[in-house]
Amino acid sequence: MLKSLPPATRAILVANVIMYLLQALLGPQAPAIYLLELWPMATPLFEPWQVLTYAFLHANFMHLFFNMFAVYMFGSALEQFWGPRRFLVYYFASVLAAGLTQLTVTALAGIEYPTLGASGGVFGLLLAFAFYFPKQRVTLLFPPIPMQAWLFVTLYGALELVLGVTGTQEGVAHFAHLGGMLGGALVILVWRVIGASRRPPYLR
């Protein structure tokens, strides 16, 4: 099945699985692991590279499974649409935006625990999928309700905002998820502006 996937999507899946196995082998307290997590800037453990490396670590198997399932479902379609280079630029821009958002939130809230997981990149993929394939049917796992992609992502984004503002589900980086969506939206906007500026005047 892996061979049938586009190369960048396959690479992200493989890299995340390998990192999860290393986490299990070395343990969460190994320096090679916790120095890759995204620590708040107020702590002595923060390092600049963590705004990207945190997206390759996961708290448990289900955390990994759901994130990689989303990368498989939505990333494959987007990579086939964009090509691998643009797909990777978009994915890691979403990861970076999510990481920067989380650093801002932890600084304002005085939080001192780290963040990990590919959810910021996943939420960026969700936004792009809804933008480019708005009427594509998406079926939830729990509950299995089919709906159009634009509606699914709109409701999911609204839910994340409510959960973030109310502080529900402590330990889940809801604002980082929204940051991933915002980063993705900015990338799409920049691409559209650049694309429009390169068109001949008679096509504008």
**Residue 142 pLDDT > 70, yes or no?**
no
In the chain, domain spans: 2-203
Supply the pLDDT for residue 194. Answer: 85
Measured CA angle at 15 (ends 137, 133), to 5 deg:
20
- Mean pLDDT over 44-63 rounds to 94
**Residue 203 pLDDT > 70, yes or no?**
no
Bridge partners, 138 (sequence order):
147
Query: Furthest-apart CA pair in the chain: how many Å?
Result: 60
Q: What superfamily in CATH does domain 2-203 come from?
A: Rhomboid-like (1.20.1540.10)
**Cβ proximity of 118 and 68 under 8 Å:** yes
Supply the pLDDT for residue 46. Answer: 95
**Residue 20 pLDDT > 90, yes or no?**
yes
Supply the pLDDT for residue 202. Answer: 45
pLDDT digit string, tens, across residues 59-80: 899 999 989 999 999 999 999 9
Supply the pLDDT for residue 146. Answer: 85
